[in-house]
Structure 1
């Protein structure tokens, strides 16, 4: 499981720290592994985010940046290592 930690921010709408703990605590024996990005995947990959009001565009944005070669190879290798580490694949 990969997820954005959003710096454990707390605002009037959401307490990310609480949600992050909830996600981590929800692991079961079927959960291979968990990795929380400190901020988010886009920050980790050093790519710009879509408009903050359009969170639904985040997945396609990452795919487009990858396909167009805008993600540095070292960041892709780091991501690959993270995925390998939490999946053992």
Structure 2
């Protein structure tokens, strides 16, 4: 069964998220659309978050695929999106 999962990645701009997904076997299939073995992703700029005077942007990604496939992708993607110091 195909599921859809939406994740926000603050501090990771859309262009960098595209690079990460390419490194994980994805390819561009349209403007801000990627696909890989058993998954698809639609990327857009995340709504900016404000904490005091700090404003942080990032990417929002809507993934579609089988849950087990997405779980494996998320495990690899998590390592790429870790940020030291925050």
What band does the TM-score fall into relative to the shorter chain?
0.3 to 0.5
> Which protein has the bigger strand share?
2
In terms of fraction of residues, the more helix-rich structure is: 1
Q: TM (normalized to structure 2)?
A: 0.33
RCO (CA 8 Å, sep 6+): is it higher in 1 or 2?
A: 2
